[in-house]
Amino acid sequence: MKNLIKKLLRESLLGEVAINQSNISEDIGLFLLPGNTIVLYDMVEYDDSDRSLGVKGTITIRDENGRYSVNKVAALKGYGPIMHELAMQHVYPKPLITDREGDTREGVINVINKFISGINPNIDVVKLTPDDKYYVDCLDFGCVDSDPEFFNAHNTEFRMSDKSLYIKLKAEGDEFLEDVGYEFINELEDLAGNFFDRMYSTS
C-alpha cells in the first residue's frame, strides 16, 4: 500500500514535468544492459503484475572511434533529456553525439537543441566547424541547408563531467539487483526492448 501511495503521489505531482536531478524519484534505478544500453526503471513497479510499467527510458550508445553516438533512445514524456544526460555521464570524458546514420527523430532533435541553447550549464557543448575532422555535411543525412536545427544537432558534441546523478542512480540499481537477484537484468532486457518498440512505433 505504501508503494502504491508513493506511486500515485509521484504521478499526480510530476505529470509531464521534465525529470531532472532535483525531482527524480528515489525509487528510480539505473541499470546497465549488454550492448551499452542504459535503462531507467521505477523499482516500485517491480511488485506489480505488469513490470513493464517500470521502464521510464532506455538509451543505447555506439562507439564511433572514441566518440559515442546515440544509437537508439525511447523515453516517457519528461525523461528524454535525462536519458541523454546520463549517457553523457556514462561515456565521459568522451563526447556524446547524435546518431551518425542520421535516423534521429524530431523529439530527439528538440532535446539536443535545448542542450545547445544552454538549458543545462553542466553540459559542455562544442559546435563543430567545417574544419573539424568529425564535421558532417548536411547531405550525409539527407537534409537540406534550410533545416538548420537538424544540421546543427548533428555537428555538436556534448560532455558532462558531473557524474553524481549517474553514480547515485546506478548505486540504487545495483542495490536493487542484490535484493531481487541479478537475473532481473535478463528480464529487463526484454522489458526495455518491448518498451522501445512500443514507443518507437507510436512516436
* Over residues 139-167, mean pLDDT: 80
pLDDT digit string, tens, across residues 8-52: 334 433 445 789 999 999 999 999 999 999 999 999 999 888 999
**What is the number of other CB atoms lying within 10 angstroms of the CB of residue 4?**
11
pLDDT digit string, tens, across residues 109-127: 889 999 999 999 999 999 9
pLDDT at 69 over 90: yes
* pLDDT classification of 201: cutoffs 50, 70, 90: confident
- The residue ranges of every structural domain in the chain are 2-202
CB of 59 closer than 8 Å to CB of 83: yes
- Between strands 96-97 and 67-75, the pairing is parallel
Predicted confidence at residue 121, as pLDDT, reads: 95
Query: Is the whole model's pTM more than 0.85, yes or no?
Result: yes
Predicted confidence at residue 108, as pLDDT, reads: 87
